[in-house]
A and B are shown apart, each in its own frame.
Chain A
Amino acid sequence: AQSVTQLGSHVSVSEGALVLLRCNYSSSVPPYLFWYVQYPNQGLQLLLKYTSAATLVKGINGFEAEFKKSETSFHLTKPSAHMSDAAEYFCAVKGGGADGLTFGKGTHLIIQP
């Protein structure tokens, strides 16, 4: 069975500071990994995905994530936070023949002015 753990239900950073959202996964097979973002009153939007190509994945809005198999991690980073990054972020995994995505509990990113 697959699982995803996101450390911290809320993360607060200052505008212009580094954003780091943590995600660890458990999967019995090489996984596909995703980060989604949800802005208020909107659906989930794909930020980036890892599909066994480059381990450093670049996404939209300046976000990137690095797949580290030895640490079973897929942490999301952005060098400089912007007020518009305030949203809820979800890490998800797909693999092992399962049709649906397995999500973490989500992390609210709060940007302090």
Chain B
Amino acid sequence: EAGVTQFPSHSVIEKGQTVTLRCDPISGHDNLYWYRRVMGKEIKFLLHFVKESKQDESGMPNNRFLAERTGGTYSTLKVQPAELEDSGVYFCASSRRLAGFSHNEQFFGPGTRLTVL
């Protein structure tokens, strides 16, 4: 079974540009999560999809960030326009959706390292 994949692994862009990160979850996983780790800080939750619907986007920093999950499969996270403070590692995770269980294991991808110059 393939794991969670993320593309690209690294991205270097200039301030003001747009970047789109992609996440392919494990097949059959309805739950998809985005997290971010800014250097020196903890990994922080950004948002949660259940299939194609946003279940919780309380962690999204501001309206420069837009996440989508078309058809409930892969997800994209667009940053437009990028700012210096957006630099960090963006992780995607997925999990099965089992009724009555809120602690299903989240499987993480390797992350995308974003550098904004």
* Chain A residues with a Cβ under 8 A of chain B: 4, 32, 36, 41-46, 49, 51, 90, 92, 94, 98-106
Contact = CB atoms under 8 A, between A and B. Distances in A.
B91 A43 contact: yes
Contacts of B33: 99-100
Interface string B93-117: 1000000001101111111000000
Contact of B110 (A41, A92, A103, A104): A41
A104 B55 contact: no
B38 to A, nearest CB: 11
List 9 tightest A-B contacts by C-beta distance, closest first.
Answer: A100-B45, A43-B108, A99-B56, A44-B108, A99-B48, A32-B103, A103-B43, A105-B42, A43-B110
Contacts of B64: none
B22 to A, nearest CB: 15
B108 A102 contact: no
Interface in B82-98: 91, 93
B28 interface: no
10 contacts: A32-B103, A42-B110, A43-B3, A43-B107, A43-B108, A44-B93, A46-B107, A99-B55, A100-B59, A103-B44
A104 B42 CA distance: 6
Given A42-B110, A43-B110, A100-B35, A94 B56 contact: no
Contact of A94 (B40, B102, B108, B109): B102
Given A44-B91, A49-B103, A99 B108 contact: no
